[in-house]
Amino acid sequence: MRELLRPFALACLLFTALTVVVTWPQARYLRTHAAEHFDVLFNMWRLGWIAHALAEAPSSLLDGNIFYPERRTLTYSDAMLVEGALAAPMLWIDLPPVLVHNIVLLLGIVLSGAGTFVLARELTGSGIAGVVAGIIFSFAPYRFEHYMHMELQWTVWIPWAFWALHRTVTTGELRFGLLTGAFVTLQMLSSIYYGVFLATLLPVAAAVLLVPVRGARLRRSAAALLAGAGVAGVACGVYAIPYLESREVVGGRSIGEVSQFSATPVSYLAASPENYLYGEASKAFGGLELRLFPGVLPVLLTVAGLALRPRTPFVAALLVCGLFAFDLSLGPNGWLYETVYQHVPVFHAFRAIARFGAFVLFFLALLAAHGTAVIVAPLARRRRLAAGAVLGSVLLAEYWVAPLHLVAFPNKPPDVYRLLASQPFGIVAEFPMPHPRVLPGDEPRVVYASTFHWKPLLNGYSGYYPRSYFRRLEEMHDFPSDRAIRRLQRERARYVIVHTASYPSAELEPLLWTLANETRLAELGRFSDVIGEAILYSMR
């Protein structure tokens, strides 16, 4: 593996530079700005909670402070343990949370491109083909459709899992089989969606790659892959236990929910709205989660490669896996998904099955690399480099989105939370709470604000919501009614924060009059909460 260090390091430098250019002006506002989406707040809460729990109470790592008194609340969404572990040292030395968020998010893009470069270079023997594959996988419209979703940028271990699989099949060595299992585990700990999808598609690739293998090498390769599968099975099985326990609290996804976020073939014609060339023209082809366009050039390169040199084992494996991923991305609109849904319970947890499109993009990137290698192989060195520069430039032009629209997020606590942090331990409730039918309301902002005090919250935001939270919202929607106050007392709330700017002006005056006459609440002060005034109360 030593021979990979230098090309991987150079690829990291190249894709760092490309990422800075393609995501501009993100690098300019690395400390303060991110995508305009409430999931950015949730990302920062997850990173912050992991750092806090690792430092203060590692045994409570999965028991986030939201949806109190529910347990394992970090498992109501993807826990992002790898990203959290990387962020923790930076947060411990008090780097700004927005800066840490952006470093970890962009690192996922850079390392995904560099890893794909290494894999494509090994499969094709061409560094130019590796760069083409890395650009496709790192900067296609799918990336910017999910720029706010940190775990969906962390496709880092996918190329390495296929690299280790390829090495296992070609050498039969146990260490590469074990590495395959280790990379699957790391992908699961980085993004559960992609971890499960990877574990679904790797056996398909292995089966195709092993078809031409015979004799002792077949036995050694199969044994090594089984050992790797055992490693991944044990590690991922242990990780799955708290998620299975949480499923009893939050339930699963119905086929009806999955259908909403399942692709159709037309989805592969839809680019993200930010895309300069195709965004406006492709709006009619796909909506949220359903914009999977890979670009024109990758398809042309793939067709050229298949026409000029179609018969190699890895090309066959990529084609078969790409077709599997494409069909699964269609969910109930395809052939395979309903059978998988019925027989593989873990798929009950996934709503956005169109995210299999990331693997369609990955396999297409490698097929495009194959086509690139076939095309540039006969050329002299200078012409190969010139051809590579042209191909890279055309791809970047197809994928261009800069300047990205970014907004500022707070790195410091507003005054109300600074005071709350200095108060004795107690449960916190923040108002207004959203109506159950119009989630999430202000909950993502409230959840992120809790990173400045870490007291338990009755509020919450995540991929799943516990049933107890919906019952709470039903009783709290008319706060400060007597029913709502009594519910707060039963919940043992100690602090109540009312964000006046979040109430309609017609409701605000009677609300404040009722609060002023509520003897069970004692006002501690009025402070800024960035968007307006926040009133902090303690429960008597």
pLDDT band at 250 (very low <50, low <70, confident <90, very high): confident
Averaged pLDDT score across all residues of the chain = 95
Tens-digit pLDDT profile for residues 67-118: 999 999 999 999 999 999 999 999 999 999 999 999 999 999 999 999 999 9
Residue 252: the pLDDT is 79
CATH: 1.25.40, 2.60.40, 3.30.70, 3.40.190. Which one for 415-539?
A: 3.40.190
- For the chain, what percent of residues have pLDDT higher than 90? 89
Higher pLDDT, 238 or 1: 238
Average confidence (pLDDT) over 129-134: 98
Q: Which residues pair with 523 in a beta bridge?
A: 537
Tens-digit pLDDT profile for residues 3-55: 889 999 999 999 999 999 999 999 999 999 999 999 999 999 999 999 999 99
Backbone dihedral region for residue 533 (phi beyond 0: left; psi -120 to 50: alpha; all else: beta):
beta
Whether the CB-CB separation of 364 and 294 falls below 8 Å is answered with: yes
Which of 395-399, 453-457, 474-478 is predicted least confidently?
474-478
Average confidence (pLDDT) over 399-426: 95
Residue 115: the pLDDT is 98
Separation of alpha carbons 519 and 539, rounded Å:
9
Half-sphere exposure of 177 (CA within 13 A, CB side): 22
Residue 530 pLDDT exceeds 80: no
What backbone torsions phi and psi does residue 493 show, to the nearest 5 degrees? -65, 140
Neighbouring residues of 218: CB distance < 8 A, sequence distance ≥ 6:
210
Residue 527: the pLDDT is 92
Give yes or no for a cis peptide into 456 (omega within 30° of 0): no
Tokens of 201: 């598609």
Locus of tokens 């949220």: 288
Average confidence (pLDDT) over 390-404: 96
Separation of alpha carbons 293 and 203, rounded Å:
26
Residue 156: the pLDDT is 98
Neighbouring residues of 209: CB distance < 8 A, sequence distance ≥ 6:
165, 166, 169, 313, 314, 317
Element (H, E) at 521: strand 521-528
pLDDT band at 309 (very low <50, low <70, confident <90, very high): confident
Separation of alpha carbons 410 and 244, rounded Å:
35
Residue 355: the pLDDT is 97
Residue from 538, 525, 524, 529 nearest 452 by CA: 529
Whether the CB-CB separation of 166 and 122 falls below 8 Å is answered with: yes
Separation of alpha carbons 232 and 362, rounded Å:
21
Residue 312: the pLDDT is 83
Backbone dihedral region for residue 172 (phi beyond 0: left; psi -120 to 50: alpha; all else: beta):
left
Separation of alpha carbons 307 and 296, rounded Å:
17
Locus of tokens 């008319």: 478
Residue 2 pLDDT exceeds 80: no
Tens-digit pLDDT profile for residues 482-527: 999 999 999 999 999 999 999 998 889 999 999 999 999 999 999 9
Residue 532 pLDDT exceeds 80: yes
- For the chain, what percent of residues have pLDDT higher than 70? 100
pLDDT band at 311 (very low <50, low <70, confident <90, very high): confident
Query: Edge-to-edge strand order for the sheet containing 427-431?
Result: 427-431, 493-499, 533-539, 521-528
pLDDT band at 137 (very low <50, low <70, confident <90, very high): very high
Buried b (16+ CB within 10 A) or exposed e, 192-210: bbbbbbbbbbbeebbebbb
Sign of CA pseudo-dihedral 314, 320, 321, 325? positive
Backbone dihedral region for residue 430 (phi beyond 0: left; psi -120 to 50: alpha; all else: beta):
beta
Q: Which residues pair with 427 in a beta bridge?
A: 493
CA distances from 348 to 296, 343, 359, 461 (A): 34, 10, 20, 20
pLDDT band at 256 (very low <50, low <70, confident <90, very high): confident
Structural domain boundaries in the chain: 96-399, 415-539
Torsion of CA 46, 250, 342, 344, to 10 degrees: 40
Residue 262: the pLDDT is 95
Tokens of 174: 């146990």
Residue 313: the pLDDT is 87
Question: Radius of gyration over alpha carbons of the chain, in Å?
Answer: 25
Tens-digit pLDDT profile for residues 152-178: 999 999 999 999 999 999 999 999 999
pLDDT band at 452 (very low <50, low <70, confident <90, very high): very high
Residue 148 pLDDT exceeds 90: yes
